[in-house]
A and B are shown apart, each in its own frame.
Chain A
């Protein structure tokens, strides 16, 4: 399967600042990238889906101006949490699908965001 990396793995920031999280597909070009959010002891909730060169499609209830997604290339997507607040603290995980295996998502290791 595809190898997916995320950077940073852990970030602590002050309330009101913005944080950028990178998701990279290391060995395949990603046809689609997904961003999930996972609260402690809960399951993953899809936030948005993005395709290279297109605007991201956000799930209902997810603020697109709050969570900015840029899918700049076939191997890189970024999620920017703007004006972060403590309630944005969570585990953010990206996943990718690749050409020839579009039916399976491969997940990154996740980014732990803590907003003070």
Chain B
């Protein structure tokens, strides 16, 4: 069965510090992997996606993620966090017919 685990429910980082949000997945084949961000009361915005090729993918707003097949992981990173990055982040895995989402990680940024 497909599943996505985001181990951290909340993460707090200082503005300017680096960030890594963890995502582990279980999927029967090579998955499509996504990271979305959701601000309070809003829909989801696509940050980046991985389908194949280079395992390090660049996204919007300075985010990147690395696909590691051996670890079944797709962690999201940002070298320097801005206060506006405070939001909830969802990792998702699937194909064109269905996405399975993780439970989300709430990012708080302290000044």
Interface on A for B, CB 8 Å cutoff?
1, 4, 6, 32, 34, 42-44, 46, 49, 93, 95, 97, 102-110, 112
Query: In the assembled complex, which residues on chain A have CB atoms less than 8 Å from the CB atom of B101?
Result: 43-44
As a 0/1 sequence over residues 14 to 40 of chain B, the CB contacts with chain A under 8 angstroms (1 = contact) are 000000000000000000101010000
Docked complex Cα distance between A49 and B99 (Å):
11
**Chain B min CB distance to A8 (Å):** 13
User: Are the CB atoms of A107 and B45 closer together than 8 Å?
Assistant: yes
User: Are the CB atoms of B96 and A103 closer together than 8 Å?
Assistant: yes
B111 on the interface (CB 8 Å rule)?
no
User: Are the CB atoms of B102 and A43 closer together than 8 Å?
Assistant: yes
User: Are the CB atoms of A103 and B99 closer together than 8 Å?
Assistant: no
Query: In the assembled complex, which residues on chain B have CB atoms less than 8 Å from the CB atom of A106?
Result: 46
Contacts A43-B90, A44-B101, A46-B99: A104 and B41 contacting too (C-beta < 8 A)? no
Interface on B for A, CB 8 Å cutoff?
32, 34, 36, 41-46, 49, 51, 90, 95-99, 101-104
Q: Which residue of B lies closest to A45 (CB)?
A: B101
User: Are the CB atoms of B99 and A109 closer together than 8 Å?
Assistant: no
User: Are the CB atoms of B43 and A93 closer together than 8 Å?
Assistant: yes
Contacts A43-B102, A44-B90: A102 and B96 contacting too (C-beta < 8 A)? yes
Query: In the assembled complex, which residues on chain A have CB atoms less than 8 Å from the CB atom of B49?
Result: 103-104
**Chain A min CB distance to B90 (Å):** 6
Docked complex Cα distance between A13 and B35 (Å):
34
User: Are the CB atoms of A43 and B103 closer together than 8 Å?
Assistant: yes
Query: In the assembled complex, which residues on chain B have CB atoms less than 8 Å from the CB atom of A103?
Result: 32, 49, 51, 95-96
Query: In the assembled complex, which residues on chain A have CB atoms less than 8 Å from the CB atom of B99?
Result: 34, 46, 105
User: Are the CB atoms of A4 and B41 closer together than 8 Å?
Assistant: no
**Chain B min CB distance to A54 (Å):** 13
